[in-house]
Amino acid sequence: MEVPGFVHDSVLLNEAVDALDISGKRADGVYLDGTFGRGGHSRLILERLGEKGRLVAFDKDPEAVRVAKEIGDPRFEIVHGTFAALEEVLEERKIKAIDGILLDLGVSSPQVEDAKRGFSFRLDGPLDMRMDSTRGMSAREWLAVETEKKIAEVIYQYGEERFAFQIAKEIVAGRAIQPIDSTKQLAQIVARAVKTFEKGKNPATRTFQAIRIYVNRELEELEIGLEKAWQRLGLEGRMSVISFHSLEDRIVKRFFAGKATVKMPDRRLPIRASELPRPEMKLLGKIKPSAAEVKRNVRARSAILRVATRVALPEGGVSAA
């Protein structure tokens, strides 16, 4: 259930949707919202779509799917699942190509503010952390059986936490005494292991981030989803991706850079200019939230929006209508 009185404020709402360029003939195209959340971006996309336009949204969270089903727009469809499976979803719907995709990565504010979801170290609740609470292993179940070495690796790799070894050691010692079932228990264990941390930042921040990312396979699904979306993106199609921490942004930046560059042949070879390889992608920019948005919504402070468009198709590639 939603947290009473809590309203979700979509980060970079207008900027991310503006970047899709839903205008003219493109207004009747096919768009994907890979992370519906509470629907801020999807609703704005629908406002700009033409009568023949179509929007398919994805979300792993059953509560987000419930909210999405209340929209009631015939141009809109919600899929309960990860955007990494978009290829299969598009095949089932006989959608050959898309005109744009928007990804708002990370955990949504309603998930964090709901203690029962177990995402927050500030709120005491069951240690779950799954985006999709209907499947997969929870954080509690994982921490109960994983080795100390693997726990340390996860906290270091996904949380960039320099006290990862000490935290893992405390977790294994703590679970030997009693099961680690709640967010409060985990936060207290981490606090004992982390000797120094950034001013104004809870010592459990990086550990909670790391375990959440690992349990939900967030980075693996991002890499898969970006490539699958790119394969289906038609000529002049747009990709609009909002990331919230360095690991996500690094993946997006590296992916975009790879598609926007090509290996040029030896300049000494007799090749016409028209025969030179062309990059498939053009980078359109990087946008950060305004000071006013950050003041209104603290969650926006670390957000980065990267935008790109397809400028060339591979041989035999798709072309959006």
Binding residues: 39-41, 59, 83, 104, 111
Distance CA(71)–CA(244), nearest Å, equals 27
Backbone φ and ψ for 51, nearest 5 degrees, come out as -60, -30
**The predicted structure's pLDDT at residue 278:** 74
CB 183 within 8 A of CB 127: yes
Residue 38: left if φ>0, alpha if ψ -120 to 50, beta else—which one? alpha
Q: What is the pLDDT of residues 200-218, one digit of tens each?
A: 789 999 999 999 999 999 9
Total Cβ atoms within 10 A of residue 224:
17
Q: What is the per-residue pLDDT across 88-145, written as a single tens digit (0 to 9) for each?
A: 999 999 999 999 999 999 788 788 888 999 999 989 999 999 999 999 999 999 999 9
Binding residues for S-adenosyl-L-methionine: 39-41, 59, 83, 104, 111
Q: CA nearest 43: which of 34, 52, 55?
A: 55
Q: Is the pLDDT of residue 316 over 70?
A: no
256 and 121 Cβ atoms separated by less than 8 Å: no
Task: Give the SS3 label for residue 241.
Answer: strand
Give the Cα separation of 282 and 237 in Å (integer): 11
First-to-last alpha carbon distance for the chain, in angstroms, is 39
State the chain's mean pLDDT as an integer.
Answer: 91
Over residues 171-204, the pLDDT tens digits come to 999 999 999 999 999 999 999 999 887 777 899 9
Higher pLDDT among residues 273 and 67, named by residue: 67
- The structural domains of the chain, ordered by start, are 13-109+218-310 (3.40.50.150), 133-215 (1.10.150.170)
Task: State mean pLDDT over 153-163.
Answer: 96
